[in-house]
Structure 1
Amino acid sequence: MSLAPRKAALAILMDIDQSGQTLDRLMDRFHRANELDRRDESFVTAIVYGVLRWRRRLDWITSKVSTTSLDRMDPLVVNILRMGLYQIVFMDRVPNSAAVNTSVDLAKVLKKKWLTGFVNGVLRQALRRLPEIAPPSSEADPVQALAMTQSMPEWLVERWVRQFGQQEAAALCETCNRIPSLTLRTHTLKIDRQTLMRQLQPLAKAIRPSIYTPEGIILDGLKGDLFSSDAFEQGGFQVQDEAAQAVGHLLAPQPGQDVLDACAGLGGKTAHIAALMNNSGRITAMDRVDRKLQQLMQEMRRLGIDIVTPQTTDLESDDMPKNTQAFDRILLDAPCSGLGVIRRNPDAKWSRTPDDIQHCARRQKQLLFHLAPRLKPGGVLVYAVCSTEPEETNAIITLFLSEFPKFVMDDRPPDLPPSLSPLMDPQGWLQTSPHRHATDGFFAVRLRRQETL
């Protein structure tokens, strides 16, 4: 294998550290622009995601074998060491000699001879001393030990230990570091699940129906390009986790209704809503980023959906027109910390802070309070976030219900597929967790506006 895929992986890791862009956006740009073959592309993905998942543990190893502290190293050197160590510790198919030599070659771009010697020395020292490098003592500091062993931020581990207890928090951390399966949602306006599974069978080592949602398909070990398949070109599916699919069913839109997808993004849930409505009715897809809505409409065309109208709107603006009682259904898939999806977006582990959770909670409250008057009496509003943090979930709903007495929690909707019952919390909301359900971590609640108070 040439040095090109490692150079590409290093460039992405540096962009994440320096540009503030998300891993999703950077990987999307890489897949569109690179000229690598499929094998090299897969190697880049493995290195980037692997380094981000295990960054703290890799830095711990470096700190034990280097006399120079990480904060005194050039950021490029830090990422070269992370990449080299990740190949040594986690990639059995890469010979240790290749991991060291290619890391040294990457360091040569800095044109400082002593740095190539430094990288070589640190990695060879790590090879010799790996068996004796022990994690922190779990007896002395169980949070630090868990954070180091599972490569998580200490502040997040501390939160999860308080929320779930030590044992369950450890299971959650471990699950967040596993490579998740790829989950698709069958686009039922075009094809049924069994037919789609037969079409996709040659492209995966394993394929099976999802557990909770009636449209889901789970694939492992892709053998071909899913997005060049006839099934994709003909609008047969979208990539969507089961937890996100469950949100659409909780909303339960009906054909002919007026529906608002308030933070539509790129349209994953918009398309699911349209399919549940049998492409009959009206969907207003709102977002404050016009570029996202343009991509959304392109996706609707691929899927053969013609009931969606895009609307660029800043829902957080205090002077936003209220347009009261206009919709039968409203979905607020609110901007959030994203801590429920870090197994898919491991960069969030290192970019998020405790302050971000508080900031997101303030935005979520404002969005929910602004949207509530737009719902017709008897209508349903679903609030959803890809987070299980209390400030973004039950605390928001408790506050909302105290301020909006015309709304009640519709905790056991009759139109919910029975297969989703295991995801419903005893308190009446839908809550999923990676370690409990093998899905992303989601929270969603169905709120009904009463006809009369």
Structure 2
Amino acid sequence: MTTNTNIRELVLDILIEVNEKDQYSHLVIRSVLDKYQYLDKKERAFLTRLAEGTIEHQIEMDYMIDSFSKVKVRKMKPLIRNLLRMSVYQLRYMDAIPDSAVCNEAVKLAKKRGFRQLSGFVNGVLRSIVREGDKLLYPDAAIEPKRYLEVKYSVPGWIIKRWMKAYGFEQTETILSNFYQESPLTIRTNRTKCTPEELQTRLINEQVTVERIGKIPAESGEFKDALGRLEDYAFKISDFDHLQSLQTFQDGDFYVQDLSSMLVAEMAAPKKGDYVIDVCAAPGGKSSHIAELMDGTGMVEARDLTEYKTDLIEENIRRHGLSNMKAVCMDATVFDRDSVEKADILVCDLPCSGLGVMGKKTDIRYKMTEAKEKELVQLQRQILKTVIPYVKENGTVIYSTCTIDRAENEENAAWIEREFPELSLVAMKQMLPGEAGNDGFFISKFVRRKHE
């Protein structure tokens, strides 16, 4: 490392914030990287990998520690359990770091942070794992399939149980494995500012590796057509330090967005002059995409609950130079009489469990519970019941989530049909993580028929 900053200590503090103070990992990591901007690219990469990797593999780390420690992880001092977790992650997944260095650094950190009396315990557990860790037996998939998947992929058992019921053991394992595959950062061209070819040239001039997303396999129909259109203006980018360092990003030449998320605008199929209401829009990716497709005509009203969220939307409106989009601070659960039958397109990309994006938001698996998910389903239905009257006759309703749970997806789509018989379901797709390189995502499209 090239500075005097102790990167491991920064990671330890990140883990404590996330695991003991219930903070979100991506926000904590971003805050630390912003605070320590002088760290070089190698240090930033080490910090990010160690923090995210430890969180992502936490159940597995705890299983290993519990197998070699008389004191179970849940009974340890918070600092000690997080110090052991990040150290075991280095031993298991970061081969370039000598085992002795991992153990020595952990002991030093324990002493530095006021736990000198436990430094011998830390050293003993880690040395045992160095000697015997390769012999540790994991749960047998044939005897304990749920526990096997829980430990191997560090996903809580209640999620495993639900997905095994919905998808079966083999497909569930494929889904979990795909969360660990490195996925490219995908962007879409802001065609109000440049052509895809111009963007590609500008990125190459910034020494960014950029490539077209290529052909995306899909069955026939509207979904395939929408994916096909993405091939014209979506790219994969890599080999850059961070987004803020790119002039193309600063200039709003592109928007960072997963392929599955881009499908919302394409499936909505806006026409020039349409009025669009996006009821939970922050940070504004889907709204800005729709505004761009309307080529400066019509209006996209991007709503969200707080000023903080609408500020994020406004920042994106400014950076992307969109004249036909506005941010509105509004609670989607509160009925707005002025919005009734106002929207040609109503976008309901609603708060959800987020279990389809666990590969990118590593800690969401631990923060979500069965009880919280049930509450989310009720919230989703409350919002839908409130806002669906906003769509015009012959208008389109898009309901989407970034999860793969049937209660929030297919069951909610069926509920919409029962609750609103004037809506006809015309397309529905559950995308699983890794399909075409995208996140887990659900999208459904309804059209409101004329009053009889």
Between the aligned partners of 2:342 and 2:354, the Cα distance in structure 1 is 30
State the Cα distance separating 1:224 from its structure 2 match.
Answer: 3.5
The percentage of counterpart residues that share the same residue type is 28
Hey, what does 2:449 align to over in structure 1? 450
Hey, what does 2:160 align to over in structure 1? 157
**Does residue 313 of structure 1 match 2:312?**
no
Q: Secondary structure at the match of 2:351?
A: coil
Going from structure 1 to structure 2, the CA distance change for 1:41 and 1:369 (only over 3 Å counts) comes to same
**Does residue 140 of structure 1 match 2:140?**
no
AA at the equivalent of 1:105? K
Unmatched tracts of structure 1, length 5 or more: 412-428
Instruction: Select the residue among 60, 63, 70 that pairs with 2:63.
Output: 60
State the Cα distance separating 1:206 from its structure 2 match.
Answer: 6.1
Instruction: Select the residue among 196, 200, 203 that pairs with 1:200.
Output: 203
Instruction: Select the residue among 401, 406, 426 that pairs with 1:390.
Output: 406
Unmatched tracts of structure 2, length 5 or more: 217-226
**Does residue 31 of structure 1 match 2:30?**
no
AA at the equivalent of 2:326? T
State the Cα distance separating 1:322 from its structure 2 match.
Answer: 5.6
Q: Secondary structure at the match of 2:74?
A: helix
Q: Secondary structure at the match of 1:380?
A: strand
Tell me whether 264-273 or 377-386 shows the greater mean CA deviation.
264-273
AA at the equivalent of 2:35? A
Hey, what does 2:276 align to over in structure 1? 259
AA at the equivalent of 1:19? K
Hey, what does 1:418 align to over in structure 2? none
1:41-63 Cα distance to aligned partner (Å, 9 max, x none): 11111011101111111111101
Instruction: Select the residue among 399, 403, 419 that pairs with 1:403.
Output: 419
Task: Output the aligned Cα RMSD.
Answer: 1.7
Between the aligned partners of 1:346 and 1:52, the Cα distance in structure 2 is 6
Between the aligned partners of 1:308 and 1:167, the Cα distance in structure 2 is 44
Q: Secondary structure at the match of 1:293?
A: helix
Matched-pair contact (CA < 8 Å) for 2:20–2:78: no
Hey, what does 1:416 align to over in structure 2? none
**Does residue 225 of structure 1 match 2:242?**
yes
Hey, what does 1:186 align to over in structure 2? 189
Hey, what does 1:333 align to over in structure 2? 349
- Residue correspondence of structure 1 range 49-448 to structure 2 within 5 A: 49-201=52-204, 203-204=207-208, 207-210=211-214, 211=216, 212=227, 213-214=230-231, 215-220=233-238, 222-317=239-334, 320-321=336-337, 323-411=339-427, 429-448=428-447
Between the aligned partners of 1:109 and 1:255, the Cα distance in structure 2 is 63
Matched-pair contact (CA < 8 Å) for 2:185–2:256: yes
Hey, what does 2:50 align to over in structure 1? 47
Between the aligned partners of 1:311 and 1:206, the Cα distance in structure 2 is 35
TM-score, scaled relative to structure 2: 0.92
Instruction: Select the residue among 11, 14, 22 that pairs with 1:12.
Output: 14
AA at the equivalent of 2:212? R
How many residues align structurally? 434
Between the aligned partners of 1:82 and 1:32, the Cα distance in structure 2 is 24
State the Cα distance separating 1:341 from its structure 2 match.
Answer: 0.4
TM-score, scaled relative to structure 1: 0.92
1:412-439 Cα distance to aligned partner (Å, 9 max, x none): xxxxxxxxxxxxxxxxx02211133321
State the Cα distance separating 1:207 from its structure 2 match.
Answer: 3.2
AA at the equivalent of 2:20? Q
